[in-house]
Chain A
Amino acid sequence: MLEVRDLHVQYGRLVALRGVSFSIAEGEIACIVGPNGAGKSTTLLTVSGVLKPTRGEVIYDGKPISGLSPEAIAGLGVTQVPEGRHIFTGLTIEENLRVGAALRRDRDETRKDMERIYETFPILGQRKTQAAGKLSGGEQQMLAIGRALMSRPKLMTIDEPSLGLAPKIVDRVYEVLTELRASRGLTLLIVEQSSERALKAADRLHVLRNGEMQLSGRAADLKDGAEVHKAYFGFTKEHSGEVMI
């Protein structure tokens, strides 16, 4: 469904990605893990068209999309849940969801989708006329996901859904994401710092460090964690090994 080929991205003279390649099959949950500054967010921003690659391309449904504007890419069914959620705090919850449907013209269907999101996240339905800024962190993350769903994405990219949330809430977020894959056939590309959580949630794992892909593989094959650890940190786990990030 999505193929990233030899992606090079620079911020001015600072090189963020040097030749990153990976692909995602339809209906898959793919996680990109890696330490700070590895280029995880850069990868997502390039997929959604906010950043332009200096070399390489992003191919979605067989067509190159790396030259398109963010709005155009969103129109093709690739929606991003940005890092730090970026909900519209001054707008009401309902307005946040309406903005998510900014590209749609089918009013009745949009209405139905909104009701469906209120069913998935009852808390949003109960408080739909309140300012979104009044929601708790976990609720805001649910709203950000709900807003992304309003565009009826085929591929949803999520940047650090666990950022600043209590572990229990993070569990709930991943539960919701797994449910969404099952109920809507959604393909998910998730950026995550914790390789442990990524191994639990993902079908396929990609480890990124220093702008280069260190390791890609099926999560099931990487379960014991040693390879991931080496790819993540650049050295093998010499001590007992019960601690993993």
Chain B
Amino acid sequence: MEPNSPFQRTLREFWPLLILSALVTAVVVIIQAFGDPIVSRSLTEALIRLVVVVALFIFIGNSGLMSFGHIAFMMIGAYATAWQTMPVMTKGIFAPGLPEYLLQNSHHWIPATLIGGVAASVVALVAGLALMRLSGIAASIGTFAFLMVFYSFYLQWSTWTAGQSSLVGLPMTTTPWVGLVFSLVAIAVAFFYARSRFGLALRASREDAVAAQASGVNVQVQRLIAFVVSAFLCGLAGGLYGHFLGLLTVDTFYLPLTFITIAMLVVGGMNSLSGAVVGTLFVSFAIEILRVLERGVTVGVPVKLPANSAEVGLGIILLLVLIFRRTGITRNQEIYWPWKPVVSVSSVTRRQS
């Protein structure tokens, strides 16, 4: 291949997007080839989480602010979608408070999921106007409070959410292939966002907020844009999750899910899209192995781990990463073009001091 040809330059530019998409697709194709229904379900769940983790990366990775509130967006999306897609029969029983139109009609899951995403981003826009004024740890605590508020609210809103009980009878439409399509969309959105002038401005504010402002970047507005975009993807993931489980419980969207998705991002490397993808795949795979061991297998000798080993294992993985490799598996780098750099720098560089 001719070095520096337009084709090669384009390929280099889009390399992380291509390689990550190929990686996720390959994993799905290989696992589906075995056709094990249990593994295939775990795979779907991992793909939904991948959408959430990529969404978290869009906000956390680019802004440098930690958010503990994104699972609330997933919840908002999940319920907003379910209100549209549940069969008319069950709606009246479990969510009698819904408006007349929703009670009488049931919609296809694809437009419903998109509307769920929009609902989550509208909430993000309103909440973000206040939250994005905060910085550092105050912002993180603010997002955590946001999660708690929405969790309590949905728990009490029993005529719409069935409160402590569940909404049931959601059509189970989320297959691994659906999960794959949404994962690829999320990865593409994150990739193009990070390259855009919005993503660049936000990353600049992450590096140095004062200098970014001096260059004319409105940090609050940039944070808000990322917050809304990532909330949209979380809302989509929520919609998918409801149609994966077939039922919705408010408890699903609280601390355990918040913890595991953030752990996935941290393990992979918070500041890179590759980190989000690799972290999700790695942690999902590790948990799956531990679950298999919990059930007990025979490898020459019978091996059986105590119950909840998966949670302990996740904690250990996170600790090890934080101790030995704080920037994550990917060291916060994107997967780069593996061949020799086209511009050689060593010979022409004259260090000035």
Residues of A within 8 A of B215 (CB): 74, 79, 99-100, 102-103, 147-148, 151
CB distance from A93 to the nearest CB of B (A): 11
Q: What's the interface size class on A, roughly? A: 35 or more
Task: Report which of B206, B212, B341, B350 forms a contact with A123, defined as CB distance below 8 A.
Answer: B350
How distant is B189 from chain A, measured CB to nearest CB, in Å? 20
Residues of chain B contacted by A96 (CB below 8 angstroms): 204
Q: Which interface residue of B206, B207, B215, B353 has the most chain A CB atoms within 10 A? A: B215
| B216 close to chain A: CB less than 8 A | yes
- B353 near A88 with CB under 8 A, answer no
The number of chain B residues with a CB under 8 A from chain A is 27
CB nearest neighbor in B for A170: B353
Give 6 new A-B contacts, CB below 8 A, not counting A88-B212, A91-B207, A126-B345: A89-B207, A90-B206, A95-B204, A123-B349, A151-B215, A168-B353
Q: Would you call A99 and B343 a contact (CB within 8 A)? A: no
Q: Is A86 an interface residue (CB 8 A)?
A: yes
**One of B218, B271, B345, B353 near A127 (C-beta < 8 A):** B345
In contact, A48 and B200 (Cβ under 8 angstroms): no
Which A residues have a C-beta under 8 Å from some C-beta of B? Answer: 48, 50, 69-71, 74-75, 79-80, 82, 86-91, 95-96, 98-100, 102-103, 123, 126-127, 129-130, 136-139, 147-148, 151, 165-166, 168-169, 172
In the complex, chain B residues whose CB is within 8 Å of the CB of A166:
353
* C-alpha spacing A130/B197, complex, angstroms: 19
Q: How far is the CA of A71 from the CA of B222 in the complex (A)?
A: 13
With A91-B203, A126-B348, A130-B345 in contact, is A102–B353 under 8 Å at CB?
no
Q: Which residues from chain A contact B341 at a C-beta distance below 8 Å? A: 129
Residues 315-353 of B, flagged 1 when their CB comes within 8 A of A and 0 if not, give 000000000000000000000000001010100111111
Report chain B residues within 8 Å CB of A91.
200, 203-204, 207
By a CB distance below 8 angstroms, the chain A residues around B210 are 50, 82, 86
Assess the B217–A71 pair: CB atoms within 8 A: yes
Q: In the complex, which residue of chain A has the Cβ closest to the Cβ of B203?
A: A91
Q: Judging by beta carbons under 8 Å apart, are A151 and B216 in contact? A: yes
**Nearest-neighbor residue (CB-CB) of A73 within chain B:** B216
CB-based contact A71/B211 at 8 Å: no
Set A50, A98, A151, A169: member contacting B352, Cβ < 8 A: A169
Does the CB pair B216–A71 fall under 8 Å? Answer: yes
Query: Can you list 24 A-B pairs with a CB-CB distance of less than 8 A?
Result: A50-B213, A50-B214, A70-B213, A70-B214, A71-B218, A74-B215, A87-B208, A88-B203, A88-B207, A90-B203, A90-B206, A90-B271, A95-B204, A99-B204, A99-B212, A100-B215, A103-B215, A126-B349, A129-B343, A136-B351, A136-B352, A139-B352, A147-B215, A169-B353
